[in-house]
Amino acid sequence: MEKAIRKTTMMLAVILLSAVPVHASGDYSNMSNEELNSVRGTMRNADEAERNAFRTEWQQRVQNMSSEERQQYSGRPANAPADGSGTQQRRGQGGGGGRRMGR
């Protein structure tokens, strides 16, 4: 039993440590669409440069996707915060779509 727990812990540590350099580097060009999709929704605590690097790569990928792939990856990512906190950061930063009421 203890051997199985130790083995599971080691495997988990290897998986977590292997994912950190890719995420921290800001170079998303070597990741597959599936890997990039798994990062969506996790960028809340990343710095602005990191978020911008991810956003640029993701938008470029989406433009090159087939309509089936776009449909597969559309919508809110499964790992995005469900409490609406992801939308809080953009309020008041030009997200109004350029329309003004009363004109």
Which pLDDT value is given to residue 99? 56
Query: At 85, is the secondary structure helix, strand, or coil?
Result: helix
Q: Please write the tens of the pLDDT for every residue from 7-32.
A: 787 766 656 555 544 445 578 999 99
- Residues 56-100: tens digit of each pLDDT: 999 999 999 999 999 998 888 777 777 766 544 444 555 455 555
Confirm if 86 and 40 have CB atoms less than 8 A apart: no
pLDDT on residue 59: 94
Q: So what's the pLDDT on residue 84?
A: 64
Count CA within 13 A, CB hemisphere, residue 29: 1
Return the structure tokens found at 93.
Answer: 């930063």
Check residue 23 and give its pLDDT: 47
